[in-house]
Structure formats: structure tokens, C-alpha cells
Structure 1
Amino acid sequence: MDKQPLNNVILLADCYKVSHHLQYPPGTTKLYSYFESRGGKFPYTVFFGLQYILKRWLVGQVVTKEVIQEAKEIYNAAVLSDDLFNEEGWNYILEKHGGRLPIRIKAVAEGSVVPVKNVLFTVENTDPAVPWLTQYLETILVQTWYPMTVATVSRIHKQLVHHYNEISSDDMSLVSFSLHDTGYRGVSSVESAAIGGAAHMVNFKTSDTIAGSCMLRKYYHVDGVAAMSGPFSEHSTVTSWGRDRENEAHKMMLTKFMGRKFGCVVDSFNIWKCLEDTFGKEMKDLVIENGKKGGSISVRPDSGDPVEVVLKVLDILGKGFGTEKNSKGYKVLPEYIRVVQADGINYKCLAAILKAMEENGWAANNAGFGAGAALLQRIDRDTQKCAYKCSFAEVNGEEIDVYKQPITDPGKNSKRGRLALHCTNGVYTTVKASESSEEQDQLLTVFENGELLKDYTFDEVRLRAEISSNDIDILKFIAEDASK
């Protein structure tokens, strides 16, 4: 066998779980667990990414004789024991279920925007002989935290852009193109880039992390790509011309990409001279000609204080190319020239820039933004305090509500019993399943006994995640966050 341990479903678990089948009460036939955000940085979560995990790791026959033997060898070596691995249990799954996992997973629809402290998905065994399987799958299923958290962070950015465009812009069509993902090089792996890049695309349609579109093509029915990029210079393509020929580098961009949308990094040497003299005088006619042919240029500063730099760049471009007042009384540059700030962007910095633009009379759609590490990497499972906990069991025919209640940290108290998720007038609440009906419950069966039962398209996901009237007050959140 071509050994690829990371494709072995039995090895997608923390080592200590190998002995857990020996630790549950005798007579246990059912374990039921749930996943939630217990709180965290943001007041809601955008649920996304479970479908990828299910399709990638759990659908179909995932247990074979070879998989069992490989896992046995590795775990026996890892835990220094040859009597802990549950070979009998895995052989049972192979023989009784054809290697398909006897598990039922119910989840809220992907793209849903759910306040924290609500159940997002539940897991339970469907065969009373393998109750241990519910918690064995915790490790891989909890990794939903990453796409979910990226989608949440990205949407917070979108709320800010949407808010300031509503105040100051006539054209809202650019909102979904206002935050560019530049995080490919800043994440820990290609898989992280694919998952995180896709999660950002839930909210925005612009990205340089092509791995995100590749993931969505395979797992979320995307034809083509889910987000776009375009020609853009980097420092090497400018500085390789030398300091005295920087203007030639920019002029070459205009010549090569005339009539197209493209961007130029402008801070390689003296950004103010570059904007005032090269773009505003020497190349002004070419910039205007590019606009007449349907193109536009985004100038990208990449150093300095983002708030101060963006305002100064706007002022220079306004003097060089003129501005108009829109219907809301804010200044707008000609459509053929814009600013893109991609250095140092996180939601706090974005809020500061957009606020400063508004206070100085600039419409929000004069600027676009890019984010990398702060978007895809500067997060962890505790950003939204994601947790997977057992809340119900059946032991010797008795139904038991299971919970934890640590005296040292009430924030880690867990929910009890079987759960349901209700949504009334856009407001989500978690209730006991006994207090709910199938029609009321927002948790839908997405996986059962090795089969995927819900297969969402990315268009559906995006539609659910759109900005709505039920959204949090984004400025209030930013103010409260700043005071912490």
C-alpha cells in the first residue's frame, strides 16, 4: 500500500483519544455532542467550512483493512502500548457498515450568521455499538473553527466598508470588491490558504489567493473562480528599473495594460514625488486616456501610517485629476483612478481610515483595501472560543444530560441534553430539542452513515452571509472593542 498516514481517517485524532473507548461507563450506547462559539472576539460567527471537512475526510468508505492496520501500528508506537487501540471497534465499522462511519451530523446552513453561544452543529452515533466514535471525530470536526473564523473576520471588514459606503457613496457595487485577500504567502500551508482564502470569498469577490477558488471548485460547486485579481506591480518590478527610471516602470505599465484595470505600487522611493510628478503631470494624459478606453489605475502605498498616507494620497490625486461631489456631498475621484491600501490593514485600521475619509469629505468608494496575515493567519481557535462538548448520553437505556461546570471558569460551562437552534425574525436561540419541532429546528441533517445529505453551492452560502438589517451596530462594536 502507498502509505499516506494523513489520509487515514483513524489518524485524524489526538493520540489520547485512542484509549477513550475504554473509559466510558459500561452500557453506554449513545454519545451526542455539539459545537459552538462560546463567545470570543466577535459577537457573531459566519458558519462555513464543515462541508469541506465532510467531503474531504468523512464521506464514503473511509475505513479499510489497510487503514486499520496502519493506524494500529502508528498508535501502538505513539502511546507505547499494544492494548489500547480499538481494533475491534474499527473492524466492526468495516464489517457492519462497509467502512462508512455510523454518525449523524446536523448543522445550521452554511453562510448563516449566528450570534455566539449558540449550537452550530451536533454529532451522534447511529449504531449503539460505537458510541465512542462521536467524540473520536472531535479533532477533525473542530477544525471548522478556521474557515468559520476567517469568514467572520472578513465579514466584519465588509460591514465597515458597507457602513461607510452607505453614508458617503452613491455606488454600492464596489463593496464586494473592496477587500483584497493578499494572505497566500502569510499562512502556514497551501491547505490553510485554500480554506482561509475560500472563507474570505464568502464575503468578497477579490483575492490573490487562488487556492481559495480551487477549493471552492472542488467542494462548493464553483465554476470558474469565486474572486478575481488583475495585473499589479510589486516592488521588484519597479525597483529593478532603478531609482532614476521609476517613472519608466510606471509608464510601461500604462503602455502594456492600456484600457484595462491594473495597479501600481508607488512607494518604492519617494511616493509624493511619484504621485505628484510622474502620475499627476508626466503621465497624466496617459492615465486619462486609459480611463477613456475603459481602464482604471489603482495606486498602492505600502508604507507609513495608513490613515495619514491614504488621506495625503487622496489629496494629491484630487489636486492632480480633480474631484466631483456626489449626491451625498462627498468628494469622488474620476473613475479611472483609485487608491488601494494593503499595508497594515485589519478591521481596526480599516475603521480608522474610513472614518478619517468621511471626516475629510471623501467618499468611501475612492479606496480599496488589502489584508493578508491579519485576515488569514492572525487568529486561532480561541478567537471565537470554539468548543465541541458532549451534552447527552444513553447508558443502560437511561437518558442522561451531560455537562461540565468548572468552578474556576463559568465561561467554560457547557450545554446540556439534545439541542435545537431556532430563528425567529432573524434572531437565533438555542433550545432543548424537546422544546422544538423538526420544522422549527435550523439544524439540518447534513451527514449520515457515510453519506452527504446536504450539498450547498457557494452561491447559497454567499447569499446567507450578506449584510442585513439584523446586523450588529458595527461602529458600536468598534468603540467597545477599542475600550477593552
Structure 2
Amino acid sequence: MTNPILATDSYKQSHFRQYPPEAEMISAYVEARPGGASDQVLFLGLQPYLIDYLGRPVTRADVDEAEALCAAHGVPFNRAGWSTIVADHGGHLPLEIRALPEGMVVPAGVPLVQVENTDPRMPWLTTFVETALLRAVWYPSTVATMSWQCRQVILAGLERTSDDPQGQLPFKLHDFGARGVSSAESAGLGGMAHLVNFQGTDTMEALLAARRYYDADIAGFSIPAAEHSTITSWGRAREAEAYRTMLDAFDGQGRLVAVVSDSYDLDAAVRDIWGGSLRAQVLGRQGTLVVRPDSGDPIETPLRTIAALWEAFGGSVNAKGFRVLDPHVRVIQGDGMTLETIGRLIDRLVETGFAIDNIAFGMGAGLLQKVNRDTLRFAMKANAMRDADGVWHDVFKSPATDPAKASKAGRQAVVLRDGAMVAARRDTVAADEDLMRPVWRNGQMLVRHTFAQVRARAAARP
């Protein structure tokens, strides 16, 4: 599935015959329309598309393959147009793409990307790339936005209860989503999107994606951790020995180790093993034991675990008056965590006087898979057509049956008004006012963002 001519919807193959005869250029834009799951969108994902998809020139073999497939499939094929791209443009699509800087947190309804064809013989090309471009942008932007929303909730809890909110924040939400997504590419792009906001992950494809597409050396970190198979293989009678093995194997200065503790009886494990037979060893280690509940009520179970660890190990009361466990023990809750349950668990911890320092949160498929294009209402729409006389005409839709799906008319710009980003017609603003800048033209990348830049922009928004 690497032929760029086939990375589209079937009906796009017939569109070269459908535009007005005077059309020479088409402009289209990408936005997350208002009314989705967030009124702010963290923009991410265009650069991987430019590198992997537009960066690969179309070949004559691609044209031949696409022609044969379209003929068998029952749709027209623009052999002349694609052959011209190969012959006259070296296989690079004659497109210019303007975009906001990636990592920006943008109000819904503000354009993120604008595309125009640069060869007047190919007005059909702009919207031909909609399928691949929209898919490339909506998924990482949506995951990044959901992760960013969790960051705001967790940060608020930390600011209320912790003496070091910013120091605690980077590792407070951990990505466990690799096994729950539809593909390795999804794991890489979605996991990378989460790492814009946090540094904890078990999705190793995300590290590769951040390195390949945004020049990150290492974007995320993890720790040794047990799973049920490594604990239950010892048998119930040797549960304490399984735990002791984890403590022995991963001791060291500042070293953390996470141990799933609900294989049989979580409360008994915390009370009788961690807080009983292994208590002295836990306190004698140079690292931190992270106890992981993995079943039961996702709010009350971790709260009960923290309270039991407090009874067994004690701790201190910080400057804000909240209890912080002895530094040898912490908790991570990954089961059942969503934006809503994270907020509820934080509220319960605050109610019972525990600092958010005591816990980290994990998310799996809820972070990387339970999203779709409609989560943030992403769309790409044509907004202008230039005729043979060089005159731009507005293009838009305004469906009476759903006014919320109305699209913007005229080539778009994004400007600051009273400190907020808003959409404006490009022909009404000065060029240096427009926050959307050319990032790609005719096979050449004009701007390349680093992961550090993306993270800094995302963190700049409260």
C-alpha cells in the first residue's frame, strides 16, 4: 500500500473530469470544526505525511499499476495527468502546502493547513490528496489533543496538592496503547502524539516515529515492570517470592520498578506482602516500588491502595497540607483510565488529603484507539478556484440541512486578534500577519520542526 495514486477514495479518480473548464487552481483547507470533543486542538502530523508520502515521487510503475487497478475497479483513470507529473515534475506532486507551526494549540474552527496546486493543468490534484492528508493529520492531532486535555486536568490537581507540579508532570500519564491499536503505524504516530505532552510510554514505535519525523534523540522513557504472566508463573503459594525477585532484580539508585499486584488478592498483597513480609526490603531499597492495581473500581481501588500503603509505610505532609507517601512506594493506575475517570480519581485523592505525587495514570486503547475523525470533527474543504484570467472565486458549501457543516469561502489566513487565533480571508490581511506559512512546495520541504519545538509550543498554552 505504497502507491500514492491509490492512497485516495475511489471516486477521486473521476474528479479530473468534473471541475469547470476555466479552473486552473483549487485551494482547500483543513480544520477541526467546532462542536467536537475539545474546543482546542493540538496540531500535529503534517510533517510525517510530507516526509513519507509527498516525499516519495510517483513513478511510471505506479501509473501503470493504478491504471490497471482502476480499469478493473470500474472508475476512470487520469493517465495523461499522472504521466505529466512523472515527466514534467519528476514524480513530485505540484502542490504548495501552507500550515500553522506544529505543536500549536489552536481554537476549533481555525484552519490548520491550506493546499493549492501549482501546475494550472492540474486543478484536480488539490483535493485528490484529501484522503491521505486528512488521515495523516486528524489522528495524531486528535490523540495529542486528548493527551493535552489529560495534561490540563492532571496539572490542575498537581498545582493544588504538590510542592513540585512541573517536576511531577512529565511522567504522570503513561501510554500503554501499542497492543490496542489497528497497526504499527498507528502505534508510532499516536504514541508520538502523546509524547508531545508527557514523557512516559511503553509504545516503542513512538520513539522511532519521533526520531524519524521530528529528529528527537529519545522522546520517551519507561521502567522495568511485571505483568501477570511473570507473577502468576510462580504460583499463588510463591506470590511473595515473585515480588521479592522484582525487588532484587531492579534495585539501584533512583530506580523504579512497577509490580502488578492484583493477580490474586490486591488488598492482601498490599497489606501482608508489600506492607508485611517485604516491608523492610522495600524500605531498604535505593529505588521506588510502584504498585499497580489492575482490576476493580478504577477510582476506589487505587485510592484504597494508596491509603493501605500510607498505613504500612507512612510518609510526610507537604507544604500544601497533603499527604505524600514514603518515597520508596508509589501507585500507578492504568485500568479504566479516561479523561473523565482521571478527573474523578484526582478529586477523590484531594478529598482524602492525598497529593497527586502519589500516583501516575496509564491509558491504553482509550488514548490511541478510541478516537475517530469525528471526535474533533476534522474536515478538508475547497474554498477557492482560480480561473484562466488569474481571478480567484469563492468556493464553499452551506447545507440547509446542517448549518454546522458550512465551509469557509476564500483562501484562508490565520491571524491574532486580541491575543486569540482566528480565521480570516487571506486577501484581507498582510502577508506577514498570516500565521500559516509555506512548509512544502513541489517536492521540497521548506520548514522542518523538531520535537523540542513541537513540545515547547504545546506547553506554552495553559
**Is 1:314–2:306 an aligned residue pair?**
yes
Cα deviation, 1:413-459, whole Å, max 9, x if unaligned, reads 00000110013464110001122112111101110011111111000
Amino acid aligned to 2:162: S
**Is 1:195–2:189 an aligned residue pair?**
yes
**Is the CA contact 1:25–1:395 (under 8 Å) kept in the aligned structure 2?**
no
| 1:399 shift after superposition | 2.1
Aligned residue in 1 for 2:143: 150
For normalisation by structure 2, the TM-score amounts to 0.97
Cα deviation, 1:84-112, whole Å, max 9, x if unaligned, reads 20010111111221211110000000000
**Is 1:433–2:429 an aligned residue pair?**
no
| 1:258 shift after superposition | 1.4
1:123-272 alignment, distance < 5 Å: 123-143=115-135, 144-172=137-165, 173-223=167-217, 225-259=218-252, 260-272=255-267
| 1:75 shift after superposition | 1.3
For 1:422, what is the secondary structure of its paired residue?
A: strand
Cα deviation, 1:286-331, whole Å, max 9, x if unaligned, reads 11111xx2x1111000011111111111110001011211000000
Match of 2:19 among 21, 24, 36: 24
Match of 1:454 among 412, 425, 447: 447
Aligned residue in 2 for 1:106: 98
C-alpha RMSD over aligned residues: 1.0
**Is the CA contact 1:112–1:461 (under 8 Å) kept in the aligned structure 2?**
yes
For 1:461, what is the secondary structure of its paired residue?
A: helix
Match of 2:71 among 71, 76, 79: 76
Q: Give the Cα separation in 2 of the matches to 1:114 and 1:16.
A: 32
Match of 1:41 among 32, 37, 42: 37
For 2:200, what is the secondary structure of its paired residue?
A: coil
Amino acid aligned to 2:174: H
For 2:222, what is the secondary structure of its paired residue?
A: coil
- Identical amino acids, percent of aligned pairs: 41
**Is the CA contact 2:315–2:327 (under 8 Å) kept in the aligned structure 1?**
no
| 1:204 shift after superposition | 0.7
Gaps of 5+ in 1: 1-5, 472-484
| 1:396 shift after superposition | 3.7
Cα deviation, 1:230-260, whole Å, max 9, x if unaligned, reads 1100011111111111111001101111122
Q: Give the Cα separation in 2 of the matches to 1:425 and 1:289.
A: 57
Q: Give the Cα separation in 2 of the matches to 1:76 and 1:197.
A: 38
Q: Give the Cα separation in 2 of the matches to 1:236 and 1:96.
A: 59
Aligned residue in 2 for 1:326: 318
> For residues 424 and 365 of structure 1, do their structure 2 counterparts lie closer, same or farther at Cα, with a shift above 3 Å needed?
farther
Amino acid aligned to 1:412: K
Q: Runs of 4 or more off by more than 4 Å in structure 1?
A: none
**Is 1:351–2:343 an aligned residue pair?**
yes
| 1:467 shift after superposition | 5.3
For 1:466, what is the secondary structure of its paired residue?
A: helix
**Is 1:52–2:48 an aligned residue pair?**
yes
For 2:427, what is the secondary structure of its paired residue?
A: helix
**Is the CA contact 1:330–1:361 (under 8 Å) kept in the aligned structure 2?**
yes
**Is 1:406–2:399 an aligned residue pair?**
yes
For 1:17, what is the secondary structure of its paired residue?
A: helix
**Is 1:289–2:281 an aligned residue pair?**
no
Q: Give the Cα separation in 2 of the matches to 1:277 and 1:426.
A: 57
**Is the CA contact 1:418–1:433 (under 8 Å) kept in the aligned structure 2?**
yes
Cα deviation, 1:29-53, whole Å, max 9, x if unaligned, reads 0100000001211111100011001
Q: Give the Cα separation in 1 of the matches to 2:431 and 2:324.
A: 52
Q: Give the Cα separation in 2 of the matches to 1:215 and 1:373.
A: 18
Q: Give the Cα separation in 2 of the matches to 1:369 and 1:363.
A: 14
For 1:13, what is the secondary structure of its paired residue?
A: coil
For 1:166, what is the secondary structure of its paired residue?
A: helix
Q: Give the Cα separation in 2 of the matches to 1:336 and 1:429.
A: 49
For 1:105, what is the secondary structure of its paired residue?
A: strand
For 1:447, what is the secondary structure of its paired residue?
A: strand
Aligned residue in 1 for 2:4: 9
Aligned residue in 2 for 1:337: 329
Q: Give the Cα separation in 2 of the matches to 1:390 and 1:135.
A: 7
